[in-house]
């Protein structure tokens, strides 16, 4: 059976037990980090060792309707992207053997 991703409650439990704080305080810290990330994403928000939230401008482009094959215009828009830090990649993905 596949392992499921951690929930907000499980993350708060883990932080609370490791930092010796209450679960309520750990939840508040998580919420504060999320709110700060939303506010600062326009200029870039970095979580050291994890990655960076950045706002990116996508150019207008041509695409295809997958059902009809008809060519369509996709307008330019702004999107939020998360760029994973090298330290995180190295910790999660095993290095290739030579």
Handedness of CA 25, 30, 3, 49 (dihedral sign): negative
* Same domain assignment for residues 47 and 32: no
Tell whether 2 is covered by a domain. no
* Same domain assignment for residues 91 and 77: yes
Cα distances from 80 to residues 24, 40, 47, 50, in angstroms, run 29, 11, 15, 16
* Same domain assignment for residues 33 and 50: no
Report how many domains make up the chain: 2
Cβ contacts of residue 15 below 8 Å, gap of 6+? Answer: 21, 26, 29, 30
Tell whether 1 is covered by a domain. no
**Range of the structural domain that residue 52 is part of:** 42-98
Note the pTM of the prediction, 2 decimals: 0.75
The pLDDT tens digits for 23-76 are 999 999 999 999 999 999 999 999 999 999 999 999 999 999 999 999 999 999
């Amino acid at each position: 059976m596949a392992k499921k991703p951690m929930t907000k409650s499980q993350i708060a439990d883990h932080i609370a037990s490791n930092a010796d704080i209450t679960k309520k305080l750990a939840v508040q810290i998580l919420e504060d980090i999320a709110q700060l990330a939303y506010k600062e994403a326009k200029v870039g928000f970095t979580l050291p060792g994890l990655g960076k939230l950045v706002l990116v401008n996508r150019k207008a482009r041509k695409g295809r309707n997958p059902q009809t094959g008809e060519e369509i215009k996709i307008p330019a828009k702004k999107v939020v992207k998360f760029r994973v830090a090298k330290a995180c990649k190295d910790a999660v993905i095993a290095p290739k053997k030579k």
